[in-house]
Homo-oligomer: A and B are copies of this chain.
């Protein structure tokens, strides 16, 4: 390992001067710069992040915490985070929060002792205790979830997006539209989406039909069953995740109903899952990768607080059409 002192000796200057040259600060002559840079190259010197972190009390590490590290939504966000972080010379430290956020405390402690530059939370919001654990100097950003009263976040307007999506189905001519909603404990995501749906339905003078799932694939088939029990003649199902929507498409076909001829299906998130079913899912797109990048940029510009609302859009693929008469 080459140290800064080795370089200093080789170039015939002090360690302080080497540091100045390497970090592009002021205070050295052109000739000194040349000698130092030569020595750096010859000795293959590289800054030791540990030593720097010890001194500066900050490292170029961004913490990234997801409920599962293997679901499609988090994957898309992670991709954006990784890219933006890399471009700015930051490293990403990955953690799984677990379903009940059981692991999150440990990770926050770790990130504090590593002096992370910031923490990005996917599909989770920060609580008082979490803030405590992390200390006051590390910014936290939530992604894909909007607690607008709280700390900075990057998300779409879920209520508005669900409203627009329901209006879209209504404008296609559907009247009996079922909602496969999310986990009722998910107050910052499932609730606004349900509100958006209910508002659009009530404005159109239609009766809401609602069943609850978990956002995951497995809850799609039972959710559909619940909806059809309430209203056997549904012509459209709006599921608030692509996974549930995919399950609904497959279960409908299992029951001998065609998609979209008999029943239209609309998903949410525009993850890769939406392309894996047949017909491919129409869905409400969140710009997930972009949201990940935006979160990194927010951390790097620490003064940039407040919620950031990203645009949503509705993507029509094969799973929606006007209702068959």
Q: Which residues of A contact B (CB under 8 A)?
A: 46-51, 53-54, 59, 61, 64, 68-72, 75-76, 78-79, 82-83, 86, 91-96, 103, 106, 109-110, 112-115, 217, 243, 246, 249-250, 253-254, 272-273, 275-278
- Contact assessment for B79 and A96 in the assembled complex, using a CB-CB cutoff below 8 Å: yes
20 further A-B contacts with Cβ under 8 Å, apart from A82-B95, A276-B276, are A48-B113, A49-B110, A50-B54, A50-B113, A51-B54, A68-B79, A69-B75, A70-B272, A72-B72, A91-B93, A91-B110, A92-B93, A92-B94, A94-B94, A217-B272, A217-B276, A250-B276, A273-B276, A277-B278, A278-B278
How many copies of this protein are present in the complex?
A: 2
A104 to chain B, nearest CB (A): 11
Alpha-carbon separation in the docked complex, A249 to B249 (Å): 15
Alpha-carbon separation in the docked complex, A96 to B272 (Å): 18
- Contact assessment for B96 and A86 in the assembled complex, using a CB-CB cutoff below 8 Å: yes
Choose one: B64, B69, B78, B276; the contact of A277 (CB below 8 Å).
B276
Question: When A54-B51, A272-B70 are in contact, do A95 and B96 touch as well, CB less than 8 Å?
Answer: no
- Contact assessment for A50 and B46 in the assembled complex, using a CB-CB cutoff below 8 Å: no
28 contacts between A and B (CB under 8 A): A46-B113, A48-B113, A49-B113, A50-B54, A50-B59, A50-B113, A51-B54, A61-B93, A68-B79, A69-B79, A70-B76, A70-B78, A71-B75, A75-B75, A82-B96, A86-B95, A86-B96, A86-B106, A91-B93, A91-B95, A93-B93, A217-B272, A217-B276, A246-B276, A250-B278, A254-B278, A276-B276, A276-B277
